[in-house]
A = this chain, B = another copy of it.
Amino acid sequence: MINVILLGFGNVNSHLFKAFNNSSQATVKQVFNRSKIDLDSSSQSISFTDKISEIKEADVYIIGIPDDAISSFSESLILRNKLVVHTSGGAAMNVLSKNNRRGIFYPLQTFSKQREVSFKNIPICIEAENASDLEILQNLGKTISENVSEISSEERAKLHLAAVFVNNFTNYLYHIGGDILNKENLSFDLLKPLIQETALKIETLSPKEAQTGPAKRNDVKTIEKHLNLLDDSNYRNVYELFTDALKNNFN
């Protein structure tokens, strides 16, 4: 059994909390957070504290707080020589205080309070300063996911960058699509099957194989028609940038 203490209770740690609770090989011994947290009734027995001085002993301490706050928070811990990791895609391992053994436990996924996610397939990207800590994190990752990989801080920075493209920016394209329909009083629901199939396609085809559309086949008439329909200059900029990139990629 691996004992975990969660430091902070934002999106990532609250989802990790549920995942560890559902696992038989890991247990959340305590949750620290600056402010009171909402736990569902089945988790009321978990020990909670808002005082750094009351943080208990555990195998792994997982910091889940904003990137900017990780360094000073990890410095403020009274713990010494414990395994303290953070969950951020965007922060290097060395932002953590040297007072403890440092590591990373980064689940590569988008988390929202409103949605349950299954950790089974989520890549858990781990990093540690020595082999024995790496093994602890490997074992901890395996308690919730079948997909645990050792990833360096440099690689993780690139992963996080790629995630911004496929998650944040993709979601903004969904927003644009919805906005175009909304102006015609058409429901966003019309686009949902297309959005799902677009995502499912890349499970079996590479994005290059899956690519379709007027830009790919250099269909100048349709591109012209679309640009004339776009009265929002931001959307027109996006259309032109992607169309040029796709033309260059395929023609």
Interface positions of A (Cβ within 8 A of B):
67-68, 90, 108-110, 112, 114-115, 117, 121-123, 125, 147, 149, 151, 154-155, 157-178, 180-181, 183-184, 186, 188-216, 219, 221-222, 225-226, 229-230, 234-235, 237-239, 241-242, 245-246, 248-249
**10 A–B contact pairs at CB < 8 A?**
A109-B197, A110-B198, A149-B190, A165-B173, A166-B195, A167-B198, A169-B242, A171-B201, A172-B242, A172-B249
**Which of chain B's residues have a CB closer than 8 A to the CB of A115?**
197, 201, 204-205
Interchain CB contact under 8 A, A176 and B172: no
Q: What's the nearest-Cβ distance from chain B to residue A121, in Å?
A: 5
Cβ–Cβ contact B123 & A190, under 8 A: yes
Give the complex CA separation of A158 and B241 in angstroms. 19
Name the CB-closest residue of B to A155: B184
Q: Using known A-B contacts A190-B123, A210-B171, A222-B90, determine if residue A166 contacts B198 with beta carbons closer than 8 Å.
A: yes
Cβ–Cβ < 8 Å partners of A147 in chain B: 193
Q: Ordered nearest first, which 7 A-B pairs have the shortest CB separation?
A: A168-B213, A199-B199, A175-B207, A162-B177, A166-B177, A174-B207, A162-B180
**Pairwise interchain contact B242-A110, C-beta atoms closer than 8 A:** no
CB distance B159 to A186 under 8 Å?
yes
For A175, what are the chain B residues with a Cβ–Cβ distance below 8 Å?
207-208, 211, 249
* Residues on the B chain within 8 Å of A237, using CB: 241
Q: Are A203 and B213 in contact (CB under 8 A)?
A: no
| In contact, B202 and A171 (Cβ under 8 angstroms) | yes
Q: Are A165 and B184 in contact (CB under 8 A)?
A: no
A68 to B218 CA separation, bound complex (whole angstroms) = 13
- With known contacts A114-B205, A203-B192, A166–B161 Cβ distance under 8 A: no
